Amino acid sequence: MQKLGDFKLPHFFNYPPYFTLQPVRDTREKQVQLWKELILDYCRTQKVFVIALEEEFPLFSNPVIEIGGLRRLNYDAGSLSHEAREAFLSALVSEGRAEWLDKGHRKCLILWHRIQDWADIIIHFVKDNGLEDGVTTIEEIRSGIESRGTELHGIDRTILMRALKLLENKGKLAIFKGTSTDDEGVKFSV
Q: Tell whether 106 and 119 lie within a shared domain.
A: no
pLDDT digits (tens, 9 = 90+) for 10-59: 988 988 889 999 999 999 999 999 999 999 999 999 999 999 998 999 99
Q: Considering its fold, how many domains does the chain have in total? A: 2
Report how far residue 189's alpha carbon sits from residue 127's, in angstroms, rounded to the nearest whole number.
10
Q: Which domain holds residue 55?
A: 3-110
Q: Tell whether 9 and 29 lie within a shared domain.
A: yes
CA distances (Å), 25 to each of 21, 32, 46, 65, 153, in order? 10, 10, 31, 24, 40
Report how far residue 25's alpha carbon sits from residue 37's, in angstroms, rounded to the nearest whole number.
18
CATH code for the domain in which residue 130 is found: 1.10.10.10
Q: Tell whether 74 and 148 lie within a shared domain.
A: no
Give the end of a domain, one of 74, 91, 110: 110
**Which amino acid would we find at residue 147?**
S
Determine contact, residues 28/90, Cβ cutoff 8 Å: no
Report how far residue 156's alpha carbon sits from residue 55's, in angstroms, rounded to the nearest whole number.
19
Determine contact, residues 178/123, Cβ cutoff 8 Å: no
pLDDT digits (tens, 9 = 90+) for 134-165: 889 999 999 999 999 999 999 999 999 999 99
Determine contact, residues 126/132, Cβ cutoff 8 Å: yes
pLDDT digits (tens, 9 = 90+) for 48-91: 999 999 899 999 988 777 554 444 444 455 789 999 999 999 99
Give the end of a domain, one of 66, 94, 110: 110
